[in-house]
Structure 1
Amino acid sequence: MKMTAAATKLVKHTLLAAPLMLAPAVSSVVMKAFNQDATFGAVYAQEATKKPPQKTRKTPALSQKVFKKLEAPNQLINPEQGEPDYRGALKLLNEINTDKFNKYEKAQVYNLKGFAYYSLEDYRNAIKQYKLLLAQSPQIPLGLEVQITYTVGQLQFVLEDYDAAEKTIEKWMSMAPIIGADAHALLGQIYYTNKKPKKAIGSINTAVGMYDKKGKTPKENWFQILSALHYEVGDNKKVIGILERLVRLYPKQTYWRRLAGMYGLDNREKDQLYAYDAVYQMGGLSKEKELMNLAYLYMGEDVPYLAAKVLKKGLADKIIEPTSKNLEVYATALRMSQEVKKSIPVMEQAASKSDGGDLYARLAGIYLDSDNNKKAVEVGEKALKRGKVKRKDQLYITLGMATANQKKYSSAIKFFKEAAKDPRSKKFATGWIKYCQNELERERKLAAS
């Protein structure tokens, strides 16, 4: 499974929305950086799966002397007023000799350094400091170890060290007393990048299920990733189901468009029309091909009036080019809508732009159906002159009928004899020939009497 650039960007964006857990001394700073409330812990617990309580650890004390040494850099990182000075904090922290510190005291130094590097977006050095912190286990609080393990996994993910991120987050899950939906989603995203679609689907489905159970709306990007995963494994029905949820919860053009495409792949033309129509109503169809496709869908579902409406507006807005083919489709939509008179000038324009006589032949048939026999003969003969008529026999039938309707039976017979040369029209043309001959005989007798 190849990870696309768009999917990579999406996954990284998701990371920034996930909880970044750090030590209590700096957690409020991180929450602000990630636009999260400082009461995050309580909310996180409410939407998480809980494990049995873990045993607490006995850790060394933080001496007053060490506390005073850390006070100045801590104030630079989290000042009461003004902007943080992370580089200044690192300078002070690097000057501290930790040789005589106990492991808990060293962990506090590494924690502050890690956050300073993180704030400077120097993630590699941040990971280095956090790993030094974790190396002090078990002489550090278990809660701190759990928090920092999660942070390391996130940062490894940011640096695209996906194998390491997977191992770290899986380790964190074995340690954490509470596992939230965001964490399951993050692991799912990591599995996705590591080409483990089944595991990825399972983890993200867990996240979605946790939100559903609480009556909360699952996050948009979770559905986006699930849709991509199911599409890549070829489960189109699951993709459709996810997109149907997306358009209900997050009704955006892009999701309606994708849903329309998936309905098309699943041969659900009527549903495809509804989805495509939603995109159109939202102003999302701005290309000729898109508008023509919508028109074809309308006509295929016997709604030609709406097809004609879309085509008329597209032509007026100069999105649809008035080519012979496009005008022919517009004329057809009008005729199917029982707007025959309106269709005629459109078909005339389409015929004039064509390089053959076929559209003129069709136009002749329209004139015949409209009882305009003279015009039917005129454009029918123009079709013959142009050539490239697919069914000449039908054109001769049209010319014969239009001529016979004008009581020009001798001329009509000539046209019908040409039509009779084609086996497909021989029987029908022969019947008309007999009719015209009878009419000629009747006229002769009337004239002689």
Structure 2
Amino acid sequence: MIMTTVTKGLSKLVLRTSVALPLVLAPAVSVTVLEAAGVSASFAQAQAQSEQKTRKTPAMRESAFKYLGKAQEAADAQKWQEALAALREMEAGKDKLNGYEAAQMYYFYGFVYYSMDKYPQAISYYKQVLQQGEENLPVALEVGTLLTIAQLYFVTEDYKEAVNYLNRWFKVSDKVNADSYALRSQAYYQLGDNDKALADINQAVSMYEKEGKVPKENWFGLQRFLYYEKNDYSKVTNVLEKLVKHYPKGEYYKQLAGMYGELKREDDMLHMMEAAYIAGALQKEKELLNMAYLFMGAEMPYKAAKVIDKGISEKKIPRNSKNLETLAQAYQMAQELQKSIPELEAAASMSDKGDLYSRLSGIYLDLDKNKEAVDMGSKALKKGDIKRPDQLYLTLGMASANLKKYDDSLKYFKKALDDDRSKKFAEQWITFVKNEQEREKQLAM
């Protein structure tokens, strides 16, 4: 089953959030991680900046502000080592810092290490921000830090800790929305907790739909996969119907057709497979032949023939005896015998058995082309390995009789007597042929 998850091995957070430094640093946020989970790019900033709660904290003094300003100037120029040097200089006098100033210093440490792609160090410093205690942290800083740590754990593929910090963030954020649930669902999925992952992604989808918005494609993808793991094919079908409607792709048509098949909705399966075929999603031999068999089963053999013929001409279906036989059969079912015969003759010439020539002999007999019937029958006998030689002998006997080759006809009918399934019919024809011989002798006298 095909599904979109947070990209494993994602090693970089692309967005480098510029740090404004009046009194509170703007939280470092990972848009890349969120977008990989199908979350809006503005999600983290909106969450961090939308907190309305206030909390009285110590003031930042001018001395601390100067150190952070120096670090800020270096960070703006992406001179990370200079930024770290300024922060270490500030940290050397940390005994003189109040809790709020220390929190801002550790936050800036986290941001610099994050900018250097040193995520374990960044996580360590962001955690030290939280360790300063609520009395020293503005609400927005606490909330933003929890989210940033969760995202960094996501990047380092420590999904257990990612969930831990996301849950803490859920408790203190007053703007938990559909994107929030989608992100946590991805984390639960990575941990193998499919039930919680499904509950969260269902919540995300439901919240979007209630707002009249179309959920993200990979939200549907995760939802579909999780329902499939539970063998809930009805729910999988519902999700795929939404994917086909909002994100029409050939792959979704095929998957939906498969689900309709599981639910015994044959007509729907046929229509969806045809949609996949028209969309160009059926490219492999097996897929195209299955499409043809579906058409034949639905009594639309001419469509089946066109699928096979086009597939052979485009070299997607091999031009071998079996496939040509199927093409001939489709034309025959569609009463297109003139198109069926050359395909069956080509198939017969490629086969190492005489059965196809035997079938051709019968077709020519039905078309009252007795000489061709005898020729094809002779080729069948020459190749041998015929499933019902008795039927071929009957065909050859009738064609020979029509050509007034009565001796040959009797020879074939007598061979057909050896099979009980054809014995009675052969006896009737022997009587008829002998009577015809006698009648012509009398006329000749």
After TM superposition, is the score higher than 0.5? Answer: yes
Structure 2 CA distance for partners of 1:36 and 1:165, relative to 1, 3 Å:
closer
Deviation at 1:179, TM superposition (A): 0.7
Task: Say if 1:400 and 1:413, in contact at 8 Å, map to a contact too.
Answer: yes
**SS of alignment partner, residue 95 of structure 1:** helix
1:96 and 2:90 correspond: yes
Aligned residues: 432
1:278 and 2:236 correspond: no
Task: Say if 2:250 and 2:279, in contact at 8 Å, map to a contact too.
Answer: yes
Give distance in 1, aligned partners of 2:80 and 2:439.
Answer: 111
Q: Which residue is 2:419 aligned to?
A: 422
Deviation at 1:226, TM superposition (A): 1.3
1:41 and 2:46 correspond: yes
Deviation at 1:321, TM superposition (A): 1.8
Q: How does 1:149-168 map to 2 (within 5 A)?
A: 149-168=146-165
Q: Which residue is 2:238 aligned to?
A: 241
Give distance in 2, aligned partners of 1:307 and 1:386.
Answer: 29
Bigger Cα displacement from structure 2, 231-240 vs 243-252: 231-240
Q: How does 1:186-225 map to 2 (within 5 A)?
A: 186-225=183-222
Structure 2 CA distance for partners of 1:44 and 1:326, relative to 1, 3 Å:
farther
Deviation at 1:362, TM superposition (A): 0.9
**SS of alignment partner, residue 225 of structure 2:** helix
Q: How does 1:365-376 map to 2 (within 5 A)?
A: 365-376=362-373
Q: Which residue is 1:172 aligned to?
A: 169
Structure 2 CA distance for partners of 1:268 and 1:44, relative to 1, 3 Å:
farther
Q: Which residue is 2:289 aligned to?
A: 292
1:440 and 2:437 correspond: yes
**SS of alignment partner, residue 71 of structure 2:** helix
Give distance in 1, aligned partners of 2:241 and 2:310.
Answer: 29
Give distance in 2, aligned partners of 1:394 and 1:264.
Answer: 38
Partner AA of 1:376 in structure 2: A
Give distance in 2, aligned partners of 1:216 and 1:11.
Answer: 28
Instruction: Pick one of 118, 121, 125 that aligns with 1:122.
Output: 118
Q: Alignment identity in percent?
A: 47
1:398 and 2:395 correspond: yes
Deviation at 1:406, TM superposition (A): 2.3
1:25 and 2:25 correspond: yes
1:387 and 2:384 correspond: yes
| Coordinate RMSD, CA, aligned | 3.2
Q: Which residue is 2:319 aligned to?
A: 322
Bigger Cα displacement from structure 2, 99-108 vs 310-319: 310-319
Give distance in 2, aligned partners of 1:43 and 1:394.
Answer: 83
Question: For 1:416-438, what per-residue CA distance to the aligned partner results, in whole angstroms no more than 9, with x for missing partners?
Answer: 33223322223333333333344
Deviation at 1:441, TM superposition (A): 4.1
Structure 2 CA distance for partners of 1:217 and 1:87, relative to 1, 3 Å:
farther
Task: Say if 1:269 and 1:297, in contact at 8 Å, map to a contact too.
Answer: no
Task: Say if 1:44 and 1:180, in contact at 8 Å, map to a contact too.
Answer: no
Bigger Cα displacement from structure 2, 273-282 vs 328-337: 273-282
Give distance in 1, aligned partners of 2:259 and 2:44.
Answer: 41
Partner AA of 2:130 in structure 1: L
Deviation at 1:109, TM superposition (A): 1.1
Structure 2 CA distance for partners of 1:236 and 1:56, relative to 1, 3 Å:
same
Question: For 1:207-263, what per-residue CA distance to the aligned partner results, in whole angstroms no more than 9, with x for missing partners?
Answer: 000000001010111111112212222222222221221111111222223223333
Q: Which 5+ residue runs of structure 2 have no aligned equivalent?
A: none
Q: Which residue is 1:131 aligned to?
A: 127
Bigger Cα displacement from structure 2, 438-447 vs 312-321: 438-447
Give distance in 1, aligned partners of 2:122 and 2:2.
Answer: 26
Give distance in 2, aligned partners of 1:114 and 1:405.
Answer: 97
Instruction: Pick one of 98, 109, 128 that aligns with 2:105.
Output: 109
Structure 2 CA distance for partners of 1:441 and 1:5, relative to 1, 3 Å:
closer
Structure 2 CA distance for partners of 1:70 and 1:415, relative to 1, 3 Å:
same
Structure 2 CA distance for partners of 1:135 and 1:5, relative to 1, 3 Å:
farther
1:301 and 2:298 correspond: yes
Q: Which residue is 1:352 aligned to?
A: 349
Q: Which 5+ residue runs of structure 1 have no aligned equivalent?
A: 46-52
1:75 and 2:73 correspond: yes
Task: Say if 1:60 and 1:104, in contact at 8 Å, map to a contact too.
Answer: yes
Question: For 1:99-119, what per-residue CA distance to the aligned partner results, in whole angstroms no more than 9, with x for missing partners?
Answer: 211111111111122122222
Structure 2 CA distance for partners of 1:5 and 1:87, relative to 1, 3 Å:
farther
Bigger Cα displacement from structure 2, 431-440 vs 24-33: 24-33
Q: Which residue is 2:61 aligned to?
A: 63
Q: Which residue is 1:50 aligned to?
A: none
Give distance in 1, aligned partners of 2:323 and 2:359.
Answer: 15
Partner AA of 1:58 in structure 2: K
Give distance in 2, aligned partners of 1:110 and 1:402.
Answer: 99
**SS of alignment partner, residue 420 of structure 2:** coil
Partner AA of 1:364 in structure 2: S
Give distance in 1, aligned partners of 2:442 and 2:68.
Answer: 126
With the length of structure 2 as denominator, give the TM-score of the two structures: 0.87
With the length of structure 1 as denominator, give the TM-score of the two structures: 0.86
